[in-house]
Copies of this chain bind each other. A is one copy, B any other.
Amino acid sequence: MGSTEQLPKMQYRFLGRSGLQVSVISLGGWVTYGGHVGDQLAFDCMKAAYDAGINFFDCAEAYAGGKSEEVMGQAIKKYGWKRNDLVISTKINWGSAFGDNPVNNGGLSRKHLIEGTNMALERLQLDYVDLLYCHRPDRNTPMEETVRAMNYLINTGKAFYWGTSEWNSEEIAMAWACAERLNLIGPVMEQPQYNMLTRDKVEREFALLYEYYGTGLTIFSPLKTGILTGKYNEGIPDDSRYANATDAFSTGKAKSYGDEGWLKDIENTRKLQKIAEKLGADQTQLAYAWVIKNPHVSSAITGASKVEQVTKAVQSLSLLDKLTPEIMKEIDDTLGNAPAPLTRRF
């Protein structure tokens, strides 16, 4: 991998207040692997990521009906990577592809969390994942049932740490309250969307969680499904995911194409072009570097589906030092979306 020789050295961060270290850039198999991207291309992306020092690979049972997990598992076998060198995650919820009846193949019930995890591990050909996420909250299942089931999975060796994805701050606090009441293990990490255009949750809503529970973040959508690359500034290119949406996730996003919020995002993205140029970087690198600059972000997950995209994500690390307080303020002023700090006293 000659090109990786030129790449900046990978950086690793502790996942929140845990003792686990994840690469600040990680690779996710969102709609990509097992979906519209061919297996060989997925293997190539994973290999490029691994060679660049990426140790964290993120998956979910919901991605491409489980095929995403299968492809990841095959890559691990194919390249003979050592299990202890890898941080593998999956997420449980929305497993309706694995049953003939959607009932009980979704949600965060004890039944689905255990059955779903067992099936995911089979697809991954692994004995355990490092990180196991509750994919979105399930407000029909009592918190205690979910917290106990996640602890069951840790106690039976199926996972090392558990966390949440797209939960609200009060739900995470309720999970901790429940875990502390029962002397169980609480959620170590949360996986929210976070990027230059979507900031409130990570920068304001979660502020107390970092302090009280040491919540670590593995953020997704650092490019806001590509908008922040600037590639939509002049319209939708033929080879983009939006133009070729065939799955529920992409289609869902594509629906918002052209609406008010989307146009505002494009407008803001255009404004960032000057700052990127001033730093001698392209907008993609700026977007990655900006999320990593936030110390609460343990890892930014790229959904790269081309080797070049993996490479570009890693190259953004060389930009970190250039994001001085002055530049960060300029970005805040340009976007005008920095959340007001949390009021501490009432």
Is the CB–CB distance between B110 and A85 below 8 Å? no
Is the CB–CB distance between A157 and B160 below 8 Å? no
Interface centre among A21, A108, A115 (most CB of B within 10 A): A21
Tell which of A11-19, A292-300, A312-320 binds the partner.
Answer: A11-19
Is the CB–CB distance between A19 and B85 below 8 Å? no
Is the CB–CB distance between B83 and A115 below 8 Å? yes
Is the CB–CB distance between A138 and B55 below 8 Å? no
Known A84-B115, A99-B84; contact A20-B109, beta-carbon cutoff 8 A: yes
Tell which of A140-148, A165-173, A236-244, A253-261 binds the partner.
Answer: A140-148
A232 within 8 A of B: no
Complex: chain B residue closest to A128, CB-CB: B114
Known A84-B119, A160-B111; contact A53-B101, beta-carbon cutoff 8 A: yes
Among A80-123, those with CB < 8 Å from B are 81-85, 87, 95, 98-101, 103-105, 107-112, 114-116, 119
Shortest C-beta distance, A198 to chain B (Å), equals 29
Which B residues touch A176, using CB under 8 A? none
A130 within 8 A of B: yes
Docked pose: A115 CA to B84 CA in angstroms: 7
Residue-wise, chain A 182-194 has the 8 Å CB interface mask toward B (1 for contact) of 1101000000000
Is the CB–CB distance between A85 and B99 below 8 Å? yes
Docked pose: A24 CA to B84 CA in angstroms: 36
Docked pose: A214 CA to B138 CA in angstroms: 17
Complex: chain B residue closest to A214, CB-CB: B142
Contact of A148 among B12, B104, B114, B185 (CB under 8 A): B185
Contact of A19 among B81, B82, B109, B156 (CB under 8 A): B109
Docked pose: A267 CA to B148 CA in angstroms: 50
Which B residues touch A138, using CB under 8 A? 19
Copies of this chain, count: 4
A155 within 8 A of B: yes
Q: What are 17 A-B interface contacts by the 8 Å CB criterion?
A: A12-B103, A18-B109, A18-B141, A19-B107, A19-B108, A19-B109, A19-B112, A19-B142, A19-B145, A20-B104, A20-B109, A55-B101, A82-B98, A84-B104, A111-B161, A148-B185, A183-B183
Which B residues touch A152, using CB under 8 A? 154-155
Shortest C-beta distance, A136 to chain B (Å), equals 13
Interface centre among A81, A160, A185 (most CB of B within 10 A): A160
Is the CB–CB distance between B84 and A146 below 8 Å? no
Which B residues touch A21, using CB under 8 A? 103-104, 109
Which B residues touch A142, using CB under 8 A? 17-19, 214
Query: Which 4 residue pairs across A and B have the least CB separation, nearest first?
Result: A19-B141, A19-B109, A85-B99, A84-B115
Shortest C-beta distance, A305 to chain B (Å), equals 24
Residue-wise, chain A 67-87 has the 8 Å CB interface mask toward B (1 for contact) of 000000000000001111101
Which B residues touch A111, using CB under 8 A? 19-20, 84, 87, 130, 160-161
Is the CB–CB distance between B114 and A160 below 8 Å? yes
Is the CB–CB distance between B140 and A14 below 8 Å? yes
Which B residues touch A119, using CB under 8 A? 84
Which B residues touch A105, using CB under 8 A? 84-85
Which B residues touch A84, using CB under 8 A? 95, 98-99, 104-105, 111-112, 115-116, 119
